């Protein structure tokens, strides 16, 4: 599941492969930008902002969002792609590497001068150099009636948490996902969110339990009906969202999260 740590890692891999190099070929396989040619432009950097990946090339920014199925791969010249070519949405080549974006949920290009304004709606970035926990708490507190799981996943409050982290954080703090934000101690919750996602930032596989063994890495996410790892009570499952169009699967232990 692509979340802030996944995008951070993808941006770091792309930056290592592309930054400082001149684009030799670009191929955008999206009708709205299919005619754009970035050949001859220098890749200045690749970074992330929450779940957004920003590739800064020349005076343009190639902005992508992985959504559910998206991935960025880096290949060496002549190396066979690990996914089918028809799933590729963009190819950026430099002399010794090719970056290929597959099944990207969002792919667009805009002037570099617009980056700040376009990303300004996002809350503090949990993995950003400018992470501001006090601002994240303030934004969450502005929605006292919202279920805490919904508020945590809202990127305008804090950027980078997806459904995996939202469910796991609620468990770790002993909070029922439906509990109103106004009834939650927000400072320790936000602090834990920062510590957990930063602990996973450099890991190949994400864990919130501290156990890296397959099938033991998460407390409640996607474990409906299975016994709680702490108390043995069957994990329950439901759906939460701001409205019927934004419902997300939610899991919790009815005993540990009271």
d(C-alpha 99, C-alpha 14), whole Å = 7
The gap from C-alpha 22 to its chain's centroid, in whole angstroms, comes to 28
Q: What is the dihedral of CA 201, 225, 180, 120, to 10 degrees?
A: 30
Put residue 250 in one of left, alpha, beta given phi > 0 → left and psi -120 to 50 → alpha. beta
Cα angle 74, 78, 80; round to 5 = 65
Report how far residue 63's alpha carbon sits from residue 174's, in angstroms, rounded to the nearest whole number.
37
Annotated catalytic residues are 2-3, 51
* Dihedral, CA of residue 53, residue 55, residue 60 and residue 62, to nearest 10: -50
Q: Which residues of 212-244 are buried (b: 16+ CB within 10 A; e: fewer)?
A: eeeeebbbbbebeeeebbeeeeebbeeebeeee
């Amino acid at each position: 599941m692509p979340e802030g740590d996944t995008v951070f890692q993808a941006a770091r891999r792309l930056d290592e492969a592309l930054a400082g190099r001149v684009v030799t070929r670009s191929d955008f396989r999206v009708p709205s930008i299919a005619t754009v040619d970035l050949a001859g432009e220098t890749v200045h950097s690749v970074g992330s902002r929450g779940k957004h990946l920003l590739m800064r090339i020349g005076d343009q920014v190639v902005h992508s969002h992985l959504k559910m199925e998206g991935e960025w791969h880096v290949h060496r010249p002549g190396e066979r792609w690990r996914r089918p070519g028809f799933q590729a949405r963009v190819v950026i080549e430099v002399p010794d590497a090719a970056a290929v974006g597959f099944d990207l949920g969002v792919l667009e290009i805009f002037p570099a001068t617009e980056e700040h304004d376009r990303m300004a709606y996002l809350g503090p970035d949990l993995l950003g150099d400018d992470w501001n926990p006090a601002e994240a708490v303030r934004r969450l507190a502005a929605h006292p009636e919202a279920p805490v799981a919904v508020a945590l996943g809202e990127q305008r409050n804090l950027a980078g948490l997806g459904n995996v982290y939202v469910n796991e954080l609620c468990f770790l703090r002993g909070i029922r996902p439906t509990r109103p934000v106004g009834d939650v101690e927000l400072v320790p919750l936000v602090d834990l969110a920062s510590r957990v996602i930063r602990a996973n930032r450099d890991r190949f596989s994400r864990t919130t339990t501290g156990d890296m063994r397959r099938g033991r890495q998460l407390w409640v996410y996607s474990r409906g009906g299975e016994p709680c790892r702490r108390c043995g009570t069957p994990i329950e499952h439901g759906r939460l969202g701001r409205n019927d169009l934004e419902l997300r699967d939610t899991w919790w232990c009815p005993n540990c999260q009271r």
